[in-house]
Amino acid sequence: MSILAYGLNYRTASLDLRERIAFPEEKLAQALKSLTNDISGVSEVAIISTCNRTEFYLSLIHI
């Protein structure tokens, strides 16, 4: 198993981009489900989304 981490914050991305990547609470469950189901080899996903940053953590299955 491998872990992939990817994130954007106020130092690395513009406000416009951070707004497009942000996940409001009501859309978070669907985003987690989509990432897990739609990306081959992903077994688990965690998303941290605040006004200043968004981070994705994915657990990858070695195929």
Of 15, 29, 51, 61, the active-site residue reads: 51
- Separation CA 47–CA 6 (nearest Å): 10
The CA distance from 63 to 20, in Å, is: 32
Tell me whether residue 51 is one of the annotated catalytic residues. yes
As a whole number of angstroms, the distance between CA 22 and CA 34 comes to 15
Q: Which two tokens stand for residue 45?
A: 């996903």
Which are the catalytic amino acids? 51
